[in-house]
Amino acid sequence: MVSAPNLDEHDYVRGGETQTAVKILVVGHFAVGKTTLIGSISEIEPLSTEETMTQAAEEVDDLKGVQGKTTTTVAMDFGRLTISDRVVLYLFGTPGQQRFVQMWEDMARGALGALILVDPERLADSFPVIDLIEHYGLDYAIAVNHFDGAPLRDEAALREALDLLDDTPVVTCDARDEKSSAAALTTLVRHLLDHTR
């Protein structure tokens, strides 16, 4: 008789193989591309709580630089990505508005790390996000979401502007592109592995 494998809360069984589930946060300020990134890479139909923005939201959300935005995440986004036979990432996207920050603490519980999306044209909006992730004690990587028509930014200048540690990974990505989003997440996972060794 074969005994059942001893699984802890981070493991699950799929197809007879034990896999490790890793919770990753995808965070960033309002309208930076979190929902888009999760949608571009998730191997399952992503859960999205996008709702149409109302006039009331226009009065509290800063639409400078994103005037064409008509929807916003009101709870969270969720996706899944298997990166090997042994590891599967569960991606939790947070809402970007300041009024939803209280939800972040619950979402951060059990997370191994965070991918912080940054708009190079709105760097100051990233400071509160980085502060929160550091407050929760999560390791992170920065993914600079390159928007159409925006000039590429020098990595050294970005590091200095965001006051990053030397070992914090910085990558440029296009959240709409599956391969680019995968590369950003791979960078984060490698960084997390380096920190757990």
SS3 category, 94:
coil
Has residue 5 been placed in a domain?
Answer: no
47-89: pLDDT as tens digits: 765 555 455 545 555 556 555 555 554 457 899 999 888 889 9
CATH of the domain at 44: 3.40.50.300
User: What range does the domain containing 32 cover?
Assistant: 11-196
Number of domains the chain is built from: 1
Q: Where does the chain show beta strands of DSSP type E? A: 11-14, 17-28, 47-52, 71-82, 87-93, 113-118, 139-145, 170-173
Residue 6 belongs to a domain: no
Instruction: Give residue-wise pLDDT tens across range 9-58.
Output: 455 445 556 788 999 999 998 889 999 999 999 998 877 655 554 555 45
Residue 40 φ/ψ, nearest 5 degrees:
-75, -20
Please check whether residue 98 lies inside any domain of the structure: yes
Does 3 map to a domain? no
Domain-located, residue 37: yes
Kindly report whether the global pTM for this prediction surpasses the value 0.85.
no
Q: Is residue 4 part of a domain?
A: no
Around Cβ 42, how many Cβ atoms within 10 Å?
21
